[in-house]
Amino acid sequence: MSIFYRLSELFQVLGTTGRATIDSIVEAIRTAWGGDAETRQRVAFSVAIIALSAKMAKADGVVTMAEVEAFQEILEIPPEETQHVFRLYDIAKRDTAGYEHYARRLREFCSGGSDECPLMTDVLDALFHIAKADGLIHERELEFLSEIAAIFGLSERSFERMKFRHIEGPNDPYAVLGIDPGSSRQETRKRYLSLVRENHPDQLQARGVPEEFLFIASERMKAINTAYEQIAGKTAA
Whose CA is closest to 123, among 110, 133, 111, 112? 110
Give the dihedral sign, CA 209/73/170/103.
negative
In the chain, alpha helices (H): 3-14, 22-32, 37-60, 65-74, 82-94, 99-107, 118-131, 139-152, 156-163, 173-177, 185-198, 201-206, 215-236
Give the C-alpha separation, 33 to 43, whole Å. Answer: 9
Give the dihedral sign, CA 58/60/62/67.
negative
For 196-219, write each residue's pLDDT tens digit.
888 887 887 777 777 777 787 788
Give the C-alpha separation, 2 to 124, whole Å. Answer: 22
Give the C-alpha separation, 107 to 104, whole Å. Answer: 5
Backbone angles phi, psi at 71, to 5 degrees: -60, -40
- Intervals of the chain under pLDDT 50: 17, 113, 237
pTM of the predicted model as reported, rounded to 2 decimal places: 0.80
Give the C-alpha separation, 59 to 141, whole Å. Answer: 7
User: How do the domains of the chain map onto residue ranges?
Assistant: 3-236
Q: Supply the pLDDT for residue 87.
A: 87
Give the C-alpha separation, 211 to 204, whole Å. Answer: 9
Q: Provide the residue type at 66 as one letter.
A: A
64: left (phi over 0), alpha (psi -120 to 50) or beta: beta
For 124-166, write each residue's pLDDT tens digit.
988 998 888 887 788 889 999 999 999 998 888 888 888 887 8
Q: Supply the pLDDT for residue 47.
A: 92
Give the dihedral sign, CA 96/140/58/9.
negative
Q: Is 231 helix (H, G, I), strand (E, B) or coil?
A: helix
Whose CA is closest to 129, among 74, 88, 82, 170? 74
Q: Supply the pLDDT for residue 113.
A: 44
Q: Provide the residue type at 150 as one letter.
A: A
Give the C-alpha separation, 205 to 231, whole Å. Answer: 29
Is there a contact between 153 and 107 (Cβ–Cβ < 8 Å)? yes
Give the C-alpha separation, 16 to 19, whole Å. Answer: 9
